[in-house]
Amino acid sequence: MRILLVEDHPLLGDGLQAGLRQLGFQVDWVRDGEAAERELVTGVYAAAVLDLGLPRKTGLEVLQAVRAHRVTTPVLVLTARDGVSDRIRGLDSGADDYVLKPVDLHELAARLRALVRRANGQVQDQLHCASVVLEPAARQVSLNGEAVTLSAREFDLLHALMRSAGRVMTREQLEAQLYSWGHEVESNAIEVHIHHLRRKLQPGLIQTVRGVGYTVQRDPQKS
């Protein structure tokens, strides 16, 4: 899951980026409001973590601008423990949730997963497609109740497809979800990961829509 981190404090930003990456997130980090607005308008992020006290443009101004552009990316605001009025203004400006500083990393990760889950119409922290169950928090996948070993990229690709079950995702959209800045992407990387997933999971789970991309179908009993 690729997220945008917007934080101008170098030590906090570095710590959050490293910690979230260890928990399985792909994290791009920007340090000012103008860069945050520019990145959010691209629409490639599953969610964003936004500090309010930013240079060039405040977090509130960023929120108002991106919502005016009809950007629906879930945004979680970082705010000081005593900043009640900031939390209220942030929520009224389009934030979806907030976390108090100092930040508990595991709480932040759980809230991000919950935001993305709600944004995709999911009610539980498990994804079901046919006989495959994916648990984002534990980064585990099972097939017919048996654990399946996936590489980090294979897991991230399957997560992106199952999170968007019922919709077709292009190769470019999948690459945008899997790779943060600084990663060189081989031209056939997605196809290779798809091939490995099909070999490890049940046939027909991942369907190719010729000339468009890939999709999995939502399990109607678990949606």
Domain co-membership, 103 together with 150: no
Last residue of a domain, one of 54, 88, 119: 119
Are both 166 and 147 inside the same structural domain?
Answer: yes
Distance CA 180, CA 132 (A): 27
Q: How far apart, in whole angstroms, are the C-alpha atoms of residue 143 and residue 13? A: 37
Q: Do 97 and 178 reside in the same domain of the chain?
A: no
| pLDDT tens-digit map of 124-161 | 678 888 889 999 888 999 999 999 999 999 999 999 99
Among 69, 89, 119, which residue terminates a domain? Answer: 119
- Dump pLDDT digits (tens) for 7-57: 999 999 999 999 999 998 999 999 999 999 999 998 789 999 999 889 999
- For residue 220, tell me if it sits in a domain: no
What's the domain count of the chain?
A: 2
pTM for this one?
Answer: 0.78
What range does the domain containing 162 cover?
A: 127-215
Give the end of a domain, one of 73, 91, 119. Answer: 119
Same domain, 178 and 134: yes
Q: Note whether 90 and 137 are same-domain residues.
A: no
Report the CATH number at residue 58.
Answer: 3.40.50.2300
- What is the distance between the alpha carbons of residues 191 and 96, in angstroms, rounded to a whole number? 34
- Secondary structure (DSSP) of 149-186: ---HHHHHHHHHHHHTTTS-B-HHHHHHHH--TT----
Q: Would 222 be classed as within a structural domain? A: no
